[in-house]
Amino acid sequence: MPKKLIVDGTEIEVEDGITLLQACEMAGAEIPRFCYHERLSIAGNCRMCLVEVEGAPKPVASCAQTVNDLRPNKDGSPNVIHTTSQVVKKAREGVMEFLLINHPLDCPICDQGGECDLQDQAMAYGIGGSRYQENKRAVENKYIGPLIKTIMTRCIHCTRCVRYMTEIAGVEELGLAGRGEDAEITTYLENGILSEMSANAVDLCPVGALTHRPWAHNARPWEMKKTESIDVMDAVGSNIRVDTRGAEVMRLLPRNNDSVNEEWISDKTRHVCDGLRTQRLDKPYIRRDGRLVPASWEEALALVAEKLKSTPPERVGAIAGDLAGAEEMFAMKNLMSGLGIKSIDCRAPGEVLHPSFGRPSYLFNSTIEGIDGADAILLVGTNPRLEAPVLNSRIRRRWRNGGVSIGLIGEQAPLTYAYEWIGDTPDKLSELASGSHMFSGILRQASAPMIIVGPAAYTRPDGQAVLAEAARIAAAAQEGLQTGRAVFNILHSAAARAAGLDLGLVPAEGGRDTAGVIAGAGAGEIDVVYLLGADEFDMGELGQAFVIYQGTHGDAGAHRADVILPGAAYTEKSATYLNTEGRTQMTQKAIFAPGEAKEDWTILRALSAEVGKTLPYDRLQQLRAAIYKAAPHFQRLDEIGPHGDDSLNQLAERQGSLSDAPFVNRIKDFYFTNPIARASGIMAELSALKAEKMSTGQLRAAE
């Protein structure tokens, strides 16, 4: 039932159950806070949010009291709240003075300087001095992990970091020890925290007690140019901000998007930026006498053109990698099709997803935001904690709220929430489809069920049969649900995959898929292989084929290549990506590519002119116009686009036999999943630390 309030003379009507802080802000009042955060539980520690409620004996902590808690007036009139009265002003000044008693005067050397809530609120609500003359308290710095630097004397015990680690990250290893003046934020066993999302705690710290260790003393916020962009480390498409100084990416920060990543990003997304400037390909190379030597663009393109023109189309294969944008994939498809080459693929070896079954067969149809309302979740062949940490945090939050059953068919893993392990073999899918397993009843009785199928399920010889069984389970669970509610979901781990499938980067009739191209090259049936940033397979299997590698880093593909064409990373180009739910998003150029490297679509456009099949666009706008004509939903930014038939009947009707082989998760090392990450020294440090903890049995996750 709506409730009326008078805030600073303004009468408003608010929803039942909201906090006084939220109500005051709806009325236009500004309420300072340190401990309160919209996505965390309420602690009521800092008391900066005090307001005066007429009739209350003392100022009220507005974050911890709801409008329902207000005592009604005898005459039935609305409750009156003051946020700028002398009582409130004096209370806030007292709280600020108290909080600053022990805070060191080290703003000039603090990495929070310029982005510090304490600075801002001390200027707005504090006083010019302090009456405290005694010795200040000093607290020993704590080791929280390789990404977080601590200066604990600055800590005001707001406990945002504790609540984040416990509630969102799912690593219950940080807490408040002691009482009163002796209270300290610490890890329980003085052991570093290693979570895939630990560094978000630094963003939440309002006072500089936690700062980013890799960025320490590198730059000030006002020195950097800020560019809004999209992350490509996984298929979630987290919204990020790229901060640059000159020609260098200094840091990557999250942007808020409630439908995708909220305001969180993974540690890999945040700290991979040092990999953007190491092991870069900044000039073309040609292999001569067994060695790669620098060459001009003219030489490199001429050699590639000669090989493509002189080789029969059936003996050429092209593979797009996990980080490719829609623009370069579309240009590659057009070029290869113009040359009569049918063996084009954007999928991983063995991956069976195909656009012929419709968009619902390869997208996260329930949407990422839809996880918040799920009451039954079945995970099949996936480890979302490693494949999509931000999405996994949504599942954890849904689990913490209660009222959801989670089952897993696949490799057991610590997923930061409790789940029922059904088994690790495909026959468990048959039991669920037939209704003989108990969890099938949970799915069918649920009002908002979800089935999430991961790479371990659809990247295997019997992948088609596995998808068919999953589709049949989804169809059974969907019976009786309201129209339009999707159940079947594919979780991608590669940023390029959804866009590649939408653009039809799959073999034409008679062509070879990725596994077929690799096998054909090894058998001598494929003479030329074009790799568009494709590094995630064993290059030794390509045999004696002539390999053209177009990419950004000196990774596996570049080591095997006979010609290297240096491209641009995601921070160096404007490119379109579709995330795992099919949402169209776009990166923005924050810096220029190093040396002679070029944007990938321009390389393919120049190559097309060399082979005599000039592509009909020489500007990015023209290329995008061609993409929009072929796939109109690409132009609707931040929209998911049409899903077509949600029944998945065509996929469910597929026949095939299930093997006895267990599901094996594809990602073994979260920190080394792509060339940029493998070039990062920070990722290497995190990977080594995790390996050490696993070997000593120190690594554990909250259940």
pLDDT digits (tens, 9 = 90+) for 308-351: 999 999 999 999 999 999 999 999 999 999 999 999 999 999 99
pLDDT at 482 over 80: no
- Partners of 160 in the β-ladder: none
User: For residues 489 and 293, what is the distance between their CA atoms, to the nearest angstrom?
Assistant: 46
Give the distance from CA 95 to its chain's centroid. 38
C-alpha–C-alpha distance, residues 435 and 432, integer Å? 5
In the prediction, which pLDDT does 702 show? 36
Query: What 3-state class would DSSP assign to 161?
Result: helix
User: What element of type H or E holds 602?
Assistant: helix 600-610
3-state secondary structure of 645: coil
Q: Distance between CA atoms of 7 and 488, rounded to whole angstroms?
A: 47
Distance CA 308, CA 293 (A): 21
Residue with tokens 């049936």: 525
pLDDT, residue 190, reads 65
Phi, psi (deg, nearest 5) at residue 677: -65, -40
Predicted local confidence at residue 697, as pLDDT: 66
CA distance 9 to 281: 63
Q: DSSP H helical segments within 315-450, as ranges?
A: 326-338, 384-387, 389-401, 427-434, 438-445
State whether residue 250 is helix, strand or coil. strand
For 408, half-sphere exposure in the C-beta direction (CA atoms, 13 angstrom radius) is 23
CA dist 61 → 66, 88, 94, 183 (Å): 10, 11, 14, 22
* Ramachandran angles phi, psi of 136, nearest 5°: -80, 155
Residue 556 has pLDDT above 50, yes or no: yes
Q: For residue 154, what pLDDT is reported?
A: 93
* Confidence class for position 105, pLDDT limits 50, 70, 90: confident
541 burial via Cβ count (<10 Å: 0-12, 13-18, 19+): middle
Contact 330, 501 (CB under 8 A): no
Q: Which is nearest to 188 in space by CA: 199, 179, 198, 177? A: 177
Mean of pLDDT over the chain: 92
pLDDT tens digits along 133-172: 888 889 999 888 889 999 999 999 999 999 999 999 998 8
Q: Which strands form 449-453's sheet, in the order they lie side by side?
A: 420-423, 405-409, 376-380, 449-453, 488-490
Q: Does residue 229 have a pLDDT over 60?
A: yes
For 436-461, what is each residue's pLDDT tens digit? 899 999 999 999 999 999 999 999 99
pLDDT-based confidence at residue 701 (cuts at 50, 70, 90): very low
Q: Which residues 6+ apart lie within 8 Å of 102 measured at CB?
A: 136, 137, 138, 153
Cα dihedral sign, 587-257-235-487: negative
pLDDT digits (tens, 9 = 90+) for 604-641: 999 999 999 999 999 999 999 999 999 999 999 999 98
Q: What amino acid occupies position 511?
A: G
CA dihedral 88, 92, 95, 99 (to 10 degrees): 170
Which candidate, 277, 207, 369, places its Cα nearest to that of 597? Answer: 277
Q: What does the pLDDT read at residue 243? A: 96
Rounded-to-integer distance, Cα 382 and Cα 348, Å: 16
Render pLDDT for 572-615 as a digit per residue (tens, 0 to 9).
999 999 999 999 999 999 999 999 999 999 999 999 999 999 99
Residue 426 has pLDDT above 50, yes or no: yes
What is the pLDDT confidence band of residue 81, given thresholds at 50, 70 and 90?
A: very high
604: CB partners within 8 A, 6+ apart = 328, 331, 332, 335, 550, 615
Query: What pLDDT, in 10s, does the model give residues 638-677?
Result: 999 887 655 577 888 888 889 999 999 999 999 999 999 9
Question: Residue 388: phi, psi to the nearest 5?
Answer: -160, 75
Alpha helices (H) in 311-388, listed in sequence order: 326-338, 384-387
Average pLDDT rounded to a whole number, residues 35-52: 93
What whole-number distance in Å separates Cα of residue 200 and Cα of residue 210?
Answer: 10
Burial class (CB in 10 A: 0-12, 13-18, 19+), 70: buried
Q: Report the SS3 class of residue 243.
A: strand
Burial class (CB in 10 A: 0-12, 13-18, 19+), 703: exposed
Statement: residue 483 has pLDDT above 80 = no
- pLDDT per residue as tens digits for the range 357-390: 889 999 999 999 999 999 999 999 999 999 999 9
Q: What percent of the chain lies above the pLDDT cut of 90?
A: 81
